Structure 1
């Protein structure tokens, strides 16, 4: 008998613009059916908007908003949709655990992690305070958090992304649930932390016999953990089967497209003879940055040297905390270095000191500010929700004194170059997909015609097929405009597919710098080799991919 089952399950969101009897006319999820056996891992895969998360949140009563559901959601012999809220809540608390994608948003910033895990035990068990605290330390140790007694007193902001995700897993397994629903739990993590989380989930499953529903857009990640795979598109089931069946002989073209997109991301592009790389545009020497908290000083970057040529894409990779984003924000002019020298097209950056009434953001000369622009990681947060697409792209032009006619002409031009449909220009970000938003963020960065774009984790929030589209866009901009990119990412697969040269930042500074093909095929550094070994890969044999 299945442990968890969706039977002809549909979800509709209310459309306030329609008459009352037609408010739920359009289904977001269409008659979805699949099951999960005890102790089994079932992966739910598909692009953004395919209904992966929506279906599971609606099925368990965790989806906010005015919605209507149809069909059945069975957990053991209970239909979760027909249960009273209190009964369903008891099941969700004790027998179904959740691991959400973004632990930063799902952990209370002002509560210690120990208190947050203990809250689960207080709500659903009769353990006394001493027993609860002992269980908290056991859970932290079980999920691999070092020094549990000390870490239990820390707030989420003092932990790394990987440690916060482990805390979420500790909360999910606190009551030994029969089922864990893990919704994109590794998307924002670097490859080594991602591998650790996948290994942790696999170990917990083996030790406790827990079933797992693992939601992901990345079939390479799924290949390491899934027994069976369910493929969704547009809220509909495309196909389902065992991992080996689906990966070796997919029946549907959409599944083949997802597999190809996952493979394409980890192929170093050796043949780029048509791309002309000019003399150094950005020159960085001895770059050093320290952060100070009270009496404690942390070194983010020390003595870093590198260049970016005219029209070149240079990747910066490394684990969380390696200083990647610090390099990007300094080059983008959002903060100053403590030491070293930086020049862009011959213009020097200010180094050291304090600027702008006590802030650490430097005052860059106008020609330097125009020459370098930034694309942020999260397309959902980087666009003003109260501005239309046109207004967002136009903002830097207006700030630099362009006339209204010139602004309109330039916005139309960069929209064409970044394949932003003209009909989107008058829409607001809420009406756009993640991929559309990131195209608009790139269009805004290109508006002033910069010579260098700093792209800080620009693909981390996107599904693999959308990632491939944005990679192709950046490569076309490099070829047609000669724009150089400093491309920052924790995803070595993405960097392999886009960069001519790679800077690998390790725990002790620079691990190595070299041509992409050389770094990915013959790494000189043991640290680089360990990062490469941790990349989830889709090999010819799924069994090999899972090792």
Structure 2
């Protein structure tokens, strides 16, 4: 008998009198000590299937079928009996640890709560158990870090803390829903290695949800491929990666091999930049900051200098904590450097000082930002139309009719239907939300857009669509992009030049072809070697 099985599962949602079927007739099973991967694009039903099977969907969802844990159908249990199984027998690791960790509680307190929710443990014994868990998941200096808050941890460390919570009571099954999607390649490789090691040492079964077959090929024993709420193929990972039977599986496999989606846009050559003065020049940037309750300063950047030319896309890559996003915030005027300066077309627009960066209207509109999480950067209470109108309302004196016309043109430019204008962010897919964020960023035709991990949380097909959109906007508007990413395949296919960071320093920069084909720094070689997936190298 399988440890956990889903049998003929269907899920429908009721909203405003309408019924939508999200999952139809899904079945799969995982045995003790085995890893089952659920693979598919956003909206394929992967996460919904698991949330339904473990009783975590809202009341407006109707679940049919069975989800059996050691023979017991979870869909028929009372909420109290389900709670006794979740956490104790089934652990969960979700995609975004920052959203799933309480920002005002220490890491140690939150891991401890995962234990005390099911067991009575004395304070001293609980702290020892939490310290042991932190050590087991690879948090160095656990005695010092146990009382840190989530914002003191890097993305990889937060994910390790989530894994510590998941294994706290030595569960039989861990459900890992996109646990490495937003992490850089080296941290991603370390998390996959950690999950394999914990599985071997604890004998735990693992259900691993991902949109990326390259990542799945590193960890899975068996693979279930889902599309549009249905299972299209189930097989051992070796067969899936060498002899896929379904056309959609072949598309995902091709995407993993190329590091892009099946429908890849044609390359758009960069405008000639030779002999031109740079659009943006960052000179000797240095950044230090102090953490509350800690002695000494933390150095985030040291002597960082680079240029971005007119119409150029420059990639900024490095591990988590290497300083990529700090540079993006400084370039965008959202943070001041401790030393150094940023100049746009020769005019200094950011330098050391106190208080927020003060920019005139022309400089304020010349540099715009697209953030990693469009749901977090879009106001959930404002429609798409209102969000896209804001740049014109704040920065121009255009009449309302002209603003409406420009908003409609923006939506067409980012290839969204006009019907999205009346919707709210929660009513859009992840890719649609990111298109809205990009439309807002290019509304006033800026000279430079800082794109901070704009595709990291999206599935591979949507990633390729957003990258194609960035290429087209560069060609049509002449906009330059500073593209911050941990996905080297994405950077290789999109950017003209690349800047490689390690611990706040630039270790290598140059044309993408040269840097990736002939890396000269060990850090660059390590990033390239950490790209996951046997299939990606076929």
Q: TM-score range by the shorter chain?
A: over 0.9
Corresponding position of 1:520: 516
Question: TM-score under structure 1 normalisation?
Answer: 0.92
Cα distance, 1:266 vs structure 2: 6.6
Corresponding position of 2:343: 343
Question: TM-score under structure 2 normalisation?
Answer: 0.93
Residues 228, 242 of structure 1: 8 Å contact kept = yes
Match of 1:223, SS? helix
Corresponding position of 1:22: none
Mean CA deviation greater in 474-483 or 522-531: 474-483
Quickly say closer, same or farther: Cα 1:540–1:104, change in 2 above 3 A.
closer
| Alignment match of 1:285 (pick from 283, 286, 310) | 283
CA distance in 2, matches of 1:504, 1:226: 31
- 1:375-424 deviation line (CA, Å, top 9, x unaligned): 11111111122222222112111111223233233223332221122222
Corresponding position of 1:307: 307
Corresponding position of 1:110: 104
Alignment pair present for 1:535 and 2:531: yes
Residues 194-205 of structure 1: pairs in structure 2 closer than 5 A: 194-205=188-199
Cα distance, 1:490 vs structure 2: 2.1
Match of 2:117, SS? helix
Match of 2:308, SS? strand
Quickly say closer, same or farther: Cα 1:273–1:156, change in 2 above 3 A.
closer
Alignment pair present for 1:8 and 2:8: yes
Quickly say closer, same or farther: Cα 1:148–1:65, change in 2 above 3 A.
same
Mean CA deviation greater in 73-82 or 330-339: 330-339
Residues 331, 350 of structure 2: 8 Å contact kept = no
- 1:504-533 deviation line (CA, Å, top 9, x unaligned): 110151111111111111111111111111
CA distance in 2, matches of 1:507, 1:540: 28
CA distance in 1, matches of 2:428, 2:339: 42
Quickly say closer, same or farther: Cα 1:126–1:349, change in 2 above 3 A.
closer
Corresponding position of 1:69: 63
Mean CA deviation greater in 108-117 or 382-391: 108-117
Report how many residues are paired: 531
CA distance in 2, matches of 1:14, 1:300: 48
Match of 2:181, SS? coil
Corresponding position of 2:464: 468
Cα distance, 1:274 vs structure 2: 6.3
Quickly say closer, same or farther: Cα 1:478–1:78, change in 2 above 3 A.
same
Residues 265, 496 of structure 1: 8 Å contact kept = no
Residues 266, 492 of structure 1: 8 Å contact kept = no
Alignment pair present for 1:26 and 2:20: yes
Corresponding position of 1:262: 256
Alignment pair present for 1:397 and 2:395: no
- 1:315-341 deviation line (CA, Å, top 9, x unaligned): 011112211111111211222223223
Mean CA deviation greater in 466-475 or 506-515: 506-515
Uncovered stretches (5+) of structure 2, i.e. residues with no partner: none
Alignment pair present for 1:251 and 2:245: yes
Cα distance, 1:370 vs structure 2: 2.1
Quickly say closer, same or farther: Cα 1:372–1:157, change in 2 above 3 A.
closer
CA distance in 2, matches of 1:231, 1:445: 35
Corresponding position of 2:132: 138
Corresponding position of 2:235: 241
Alignment pair present for 1:321 and 2:321: yes
Residues 95, 178 of structure 2: 8 Å contact kept = yes
Cα distance, 1:481 vs structure 2: 2.1
Alignment pair present for 1:174 and 2:168: yes
Alignment pair present for 1:165 and 2:159: yes
Residues 300, 504 of structure 2: 8 Å contact kept = no
Match of 1:385, SS? coil
Residues 432-443 of structure 1: pairs in structure 2 closer than 5 A: 432-443=428-439
Quickly say closer, same or farther: Cα 1:362–1:109, change in 2 above 3 A.
closer
- 1:207-263 deviation line (CA, Å, top 9, x unaligned): 121110001111111111011111111211121111121122222222222223333
Residues 269, 498 of structure 1: 8 Å contact kept = no
Quickly say closer, same or farther: Cα 1:350–1:508, change in 2 above 3 A.
closer
Alignment pair present for 1:222 and 2:216: yes
CA distance in 2, matches of 1:497, 1:263: 13
CA distance in 2, matches of 1:182, 1:236: 20
Quickly say closer, same or farther: Cα 1:275–1:238, change in 2 above 3 A.
farther
